[in-house]
Structure 1
Amino acid sequence: MAISPPFALFVGPTKSGTTWIHAYLEARGDIALPSGMKETFFFDKVYERGVTWYQGLFPGAEDTRLRVEVAPSLFHKPVACERAQEHVPYAKIICTVRDPFDRAVSHYFHYRKRGAPQMSLREMAETYPDVIEAGLYARHAVQWEEAFGSDQVYLMSYQLLREDPEAFCRQLCEILEIDYVAPDPGLSGKQVNAAKVPRNLVAARMVQAVSSGLRRHGAHKVVNTLKHLPIKRWLYSGGAGLTEERREIKQQAVSVSEKMTGDWETFRHREDFPVRNEQMESA
């Protein structure tokens, strides 16, 4: 039995507002998100669990709510695209577009938060290729359009999300064909999942390894419980200041990847590029 439509899949990429989007959809209360977890990683990391397991995370056909998964790790992975097309071919695919240089800097700090040592942006990208690869919009948006059809793939502006979250949510609700609900005042203007650097890199790596292992074994409720324990505040309170490191990494971003530069220039000339023309000039 297939997952009952309607279904929407936010494919990312990482560090393009997907945590904020998930928080908005969850707060609405009228959207069926995966039960007991934020990301399932089904289409890329735990596919061996089988589609029956994935189906069980959503309500049955008697529940007519829109089903949604926010899955930022999928965008740049062809195998994930192929699997999604096989199991949810009717899905609306939504990609949030962020300036890839800014996104790469944010992704750098994503890995710093997980316990990676301080290094150059180029070194981080060599260690974790998705720092660059996940932001190649011209390359990867096409694979989703070819798999699902361009009429099922939607591009949304991260810049609009940051500058005008209410306008972003109106556009999002229109795409999803659901009633508009304004974002909670506590969510508007809030940067969810903001960058932090742990005070102890070894401890951060251990926490990350334990969390990943628990998720792979299906213990998502345990992971959710751990998130609310004081350990997280202890791990990141007192962490190194980011101002100087962020400045240095931003300076490296423009020239770090010729591949990223060419891809972004190509993508910006798409007719459906989701950023206003006057913003394109300063992107």
Structure 2
Amino acid sequence: MIDSVIAGKTHVTHTMIPKVQSGRNIPCLNCFLGNKSKIVFLITLVCIICSYTGLRWYATAKPQVYEKRLPHFIIIGVKKSGTRALLSFIKMHPDIVTTGMEVHFFDRNESYEQGLDWYRDMMPASLPDQLTGEKSPGYYRTLFVPQRIHEMNSSIKLILVVREPIERCMSNYLQHASKNARHGSFASEVLLSNGEVNEQSPHVFNSNYDLFIDMWLKRFPRKQLKIVDGNLLITHPHLVLQEVQEFLGVRQYINEEFFQYDEKKGFYCYFNESEFKCLGDSKGRAHPEISPAVKLKLYQYFQLRNELFFKKIGKRFDWKVNLTGNGS
């Protein structure tokens, strides 16, 4: 209350002086504090997001390390059925690396005794997201190999390439003849003197696919074994590679555009880096004429063995044999 003098009279004027209020009672200050809390919350949230994003970026941007790893898959055979061709084709995939040479770790005691560290050192260096593979066609027919591979990795994926057995016999014979100056005719090496099939001939014996499949299925479930038709690999390689890529669990990268047919060799060439490359001179060699009588004898013999093999694997291949001429 303030006293004022007006016209000689004392006049009392009441003037309200505001009281000092606490911060919690000032509306505008409440707004400020509320907004400040929101700002602090938003800044904290942004920091968390940036930290998470930074970690993700570091995980993906940091340099990938090349290392030698034990194989994720092995091409186990069969010799002269297209194992080299399949290996060359599958190497075109950027997510797959393979050995260049046949390692023969599991079927040769002198190599196996070197241990897994030695075996790993035989593999090419790879990135963590790449698959490593090798091929040694002698594995399929060697009795102790399935157990040795199983002991290394019971979940490994295996690929078996099989071919119409009469064609495989001839290819095996041609390779043998090219390395041995003294060799008999094809008929003399696959038939006995009485005209029956010589089951002990390596050309014939290794074409009996049914003899060896049981020891593999005893150690590995059928789903871990991809059986490839070697004849289809010759005529339609892109179809086979489509199946193999699916089996290995990699993206479908290799397609029909990666192959170019060579009329002279009768085989498909494959795209290697910047150009098409054909397989070596030993691939696609012309087969000598086989007499219809010899071919018929072999056909009758293998017909039963093939049926046993198809039954065991739960799959059939449409192998056609021309009994009147040299072709199959």
TM-score by length of 2: 0.60
CA distance in 1, matches of 2:94, 2:126: 18
Q: Would you say 1:192 and 2:282 are equivalent positions? A: no
Indicate the residue corresponding to 1:117 in structure 2: 182
Corresponding position: 1:56 with 2:121: yes
Give the corresponding residue for 1:41. Answer: 104
Q: Pick from 248, 252, 262 the counterpart of residue 294 of structure 2.
A: 252
1:141 match: 213
Highest CA radius of gyration, 1 or 2?
2
Paired with 1:168 and 1:156, the residues of 2 have a C-alpha distance of 7
Give the structure with the larger strand fraction: 2
For 1:145-224, what aligned pairs fall within 5 Å after superposition? 145-180=217-252, 181-182=254-255, 184-186=258-260, 189-190=268-269, 192-193=279-280, 195=282
Over residues 208-245 of structure 1, what are the superposed CA-to-partner deviations in whole Å (9 max), with x where a residue is unaligned?
xxxxxxxxxxxxxxxxxxxxxxxxxxxxxxxxx966xx
CA RMSD in angstroms comes to 3.4
In the TM superposition, residue 12 of structure 1 has moved relative to its aligned partner by: 1.1
Structure 2 CA distance for partners of 1:270 and 1:112, relative to 1, 3 Å: same
Q: Distance in 2 between matches of 1:116 and 1:267?
A: 34
Q: CA deviation at 1:189?
A: 1.7
| Matched-pair contact (CA < 8 Å) for 1:44–1:79 | yes
| Mapped contact 1:109–1:195 kept (Cα < 8 A) | no
Q: Normalising to structure 1: TM-score of the pair?
A: 0.69
Instruction: State, as a whole percentage, how many aligned pairs show the same letter.
Output: 19
Give the 3 Å change call, closer, same or farther, for CA 116–176 of structure 1 in structure 2: farther
Distance 2:181 2:245 in 1: 37
SS in structure 1 opposite 2:138? coil
Which residue, out of 74, 89, 94, partners 2:139? 74
Contact 2:95-2:129 within 8 A present in 1 as well: no
Q: Distance in 2 between matches of 1:93 and 1:84?
A: 10
Gaps of 5+ in 2: 1-67, 191-197, 262-266, 270-277, 323-327
State the distance in 1 between where 2:239 and 2:175 align: 27
Aligned residues: 232
Instruction: Indicate the structure whose relative CO is greater, using CA pairs within 8 Å and at least 6 residues apart.
Output: 1
Cα offset, 1:20, TM superposition: 0.6
Residues in 2 aligned to 1:27 and 1:114: alpha-carbon distance in whole angstroms: 30
5+ unaligned residues in a row in structure 1: which ranges?
197-240
Worse-superposed segment, 163-172 or 23-32: 23-32
Letter in 1 for 2:255: A
Higher helix share: 1
Q: How far 1:65 sits from its partner (Å)? A: 1.2
| Separation of aligned partners in 1, 2:172 and 2:208 | 13
Q: CA–CA distance in 2 between the matches of 1:257 and 1:163?
A: 21
